[in-house]
Amino acid sequence: MKDERWDDLLFRVKLFCQDRIIDVPDLSSPYLSIGARARKEHSDHTLEHHYRVDIFYEAVHCQLMELDHRFNDSSLELLHLSATLDPKSANESFRSIDVCHLVEKFYPEDFSDYERDLLKIQLQHYEVDVVQNADYIQLKSISELCQWLIKTGRVPNYHLIYRVATLILILPVSTATTDISFSAMSLVKTRLRNKMEDEFLNDSLVLYFEQELAENIDLETILQDFKKAGDQRVPL
């Protein structure tokens, strides 16, 4: 964007101003900061330089810093490997080794050693039967791929690949759930509760997340369970 988008952005901004009868300043004129002190200053910078460097470049730089913060090397690798099953990558050569690497590194607990070996065999048939299929090129997303596999009855033959695709699809939901969990933790574990143990914190968070289910819990049933658990310090 810094190298190629400035001229296009400036052109569109000028059109926007012309359509709405907004005066466009002379961008070649010197730029002076606002204030009484600024009137005494001599500037070597033009308005164009100010808008391009001090505003546009700075905005791009801030976005790059935010992207680097949110997407570390591990996240980028996960997204890169996940894109292997995306039908939009049909023009590129299918990389079955990337799918295997995705499973081994990011989903080791979802596949046994036997299933990982079987996945390699399924990928060999998948490349011929699915990737080279004429209908595959028409698919636009992994979601459409899963629907097509179900519709064509191919899920039993490629059930492990279907599982990988399902895990990729629920990834945004899992990430959002994690963010919500950390946000809820700051509400549940307040300054007055900062000494609560992990088990108590986990139980409290579950009740907070599942408020609709918690509303249906009968308090009398909870009291009866406590009574059956053993002697209590306070009579219930």
The answer to whether the beta carbons of residues 160 and 122 sit under 8 Å apart is yes
Which pLDDT tens digit goes with each residue over 202-217? 777 777 777 778 888 8
Which pLDDT tens digit goes with each residue over 124-171? 999 999 998 989 989 999 999 999 999 999 999 999 999 999 999 988
Q: What does the pLDDT average to over 60-75?
A: 84
The answer to whether the beta carbons of residues 106 and 79 sit under 8 Å apart is no
The pLDDT value given to residue 128: 92
The pLDDT value given to residue 222: 81
pTM of the model: 0.54
Alpha helices in the chain (DSSP H): 6-19, 47-49, 58-70, 73-82, 96-106, 113-126, 142-151, 159-169, 171-188, 198-209, 211-214, 219-229
**Is residue 236 very low, low, confident or very high in pLDDT (cuts 50, 70, 90)?**
low
The answer to whether the beta carbons of residues 100 and 160 sit under 8 Å apart is no
Region of poorest pLDDT, from 17-21, 86-90, 171-175, 177-181: 177-181
DSSP assigned state of 31: P
**Is residue 111 very low, low, confident or very high in pLDDT (cuts 50, 70, 90)?**
very high
Residue 46 three-state SS? strand
Provide CB contacts within 8 A for 95, sequence distance 6+: 84
**Is residue 186 very low, low, confident or very high in pLDDT (cuts 50, 70, 90)?**
low
**Is residue 174 very low, low, confident or very high in pLDDT (cuts 50, 70, 90)?**
low
CA 217 to each of CA 81, 184, 204, 226: distance values in angstroms, whole numbers, following the listed order = 43, 21, 14, 14
